[in-house]
Amino acid sequence: VTVSDCINPGEIEEGDLMAYVDGLAGEVVRRHIARCAACAREARELGSLQRSLVGQLYRFACPAPESLTGYLARDLDRNDTLVVAQHVRECPHCARELATLAREARSGPGWARRALQVLEAALIQPAGGWEPAAVRGGPGWLAGARRYQADEVEALVMVGDPAARGDRQDVTGLLHVGGAVPEEAGEVTAELYRDDGLVGLAQVSTRGQFSFGELSAGTYDVCLVWGAREIWLRGIEVG
C-alpha cells in the first residue's frame, strides 16, 4: 500500500484492501483498518469505485440469475450446485443477490397467507446443562459449543476444524425441540449468512444435524428455515 499516512505499512498489502471491501479480509487486516484512518479512507474510496465500475466486471464471471434461483430451490444438478455454492462464497455480489432472492421467496404468494414468524434465538452461555444423546464427541464437544434457544427450539452450534485444514473451519449444528430431534428435522433448511450475503445452504438431517464446511474467517449467522418460521442463530465467529 502506497499510503504515506499508514500507521504500519508492513501490516497490510495492496490486495488486502480489496479483500476488505469484499468482506473477505482476515482479522489482522480488519483490525488494521479499524485503527488506521489512511487505510480506512483508501478502502472507502476503493469500495465506491468498485460499486460503480468493478461491480460490473464481477458480474462477468457470475452465474446466470436462473442459476441462483435454481440453487435456492435445489433444482440444479450436483455439478451446478457445487459451482454456485463455491461462487457465492467468493462473490459478495451474488451472495447479496441470493439473500435477496431468499427473502423474496418467503414473501411470495404462498407465504402471504401464512405469516412468516421470525425468531431471534438467544445465546445461552455457558452451554452446559444440556447433553443431547445425538452429540458426537460427548461433553468435550459441548463445552466449546454455542447454545441457542428460541421458545421450545434449541440449537447447538460448534465451530471447529476436525480435519485440520489450515485456517478454514467447519460450522456444525444440532437442532432440538422440547428436548428431542423433531420429526420434521429433515424438512428444515439451514442458511448461512455472512454480512448481507447468503453464502451457504444445508439441509438439516433427520438426526437434526447440519454442517457447513471449510469456512474462511469471519462472523456468520445461521437461519433455520422451518415451515413459516425463521430461527436466527447469530454471531458465530469463525477463525
**Residue ranges that bind Zn ion, judged by CB under 5 A:** 6, 36, 39, 62, 91, 93-94
User: Min. distance of Cβ 7 from Zn ion in angstroms?
Assistant: 5
Give the position of cell 502506497: 2
User: Min. distance of Cβ 63 from Zn ion in angstroms?
Assistant: 7
User: Min. distance of Cβ 137 from Zn ion in angstroms?
Assistant: 36
How many alpha carbons fall within 13 Å on the CB side of residue 34? 7
Question: What gap in Å lies between CA 95 and CA 134, rounded to an integer?
Answer: 32
Q: Which is nearer to Zn ion, 6 or 217 (CB)?
A: 6
> What are residue 38's phi and psi, to 5 degrees?
-65, -45
Nearest to 218 by CA among 195, 185, 189: 195
Q: Which is nearer to Zn ion, 17 or 204 (CB)?
A: 17
Question: What gap in Å lies between CA 101 and CA 25, rounded to an integer?
Answer: 25
User: Min. distance of Cβ 198 from Zn ion in angstroms?
Assistant: 12
Q: Which is nearer to Zn ion, 57 or 122 (CB)?
A: 57
Question: What gap in Å lies between CA 97 and CA 91, rounded to an integer?
Answer: 10
| Contact (CB, 8 A) for 198 and 88 | yes
Question: What gap in Å lies between CA 64 and CA 202, rounded to an integer?
Answer: 21
User: Min. distance of Cβ 47 from Zn ion in angstroms?
Assistant: 15
Whole-angstrom Cα Rg for the chain: 20
Q: Which is nearer to Zn ion, 93 or 194 (CB)?
A: 93
Q: Which is nearer to Zn ion, 50 or 169 (CB)?
A: 50
Q: Which is nearer to Zn ion, 36 or 99 (CB)?
A: 36
| Contact (CB, 8 A) for 222 and 233 | yes
Helices 37-49 & 27-35 angle (0-180, nearest 10): 110
Question: What gap in Å lies between CA 121 and CA 146, rounded to an integer?
Answer: 11
User: Min. distance of Cβ 173 from Zn ion in angstroms?
Assistant: 27
User: Min. distance of Cβ 68 from Zn ion in angstroms?
Assistant: 9
Q: Which is nearer to Zn ion, 94 or 145 (CB)?
A: 94
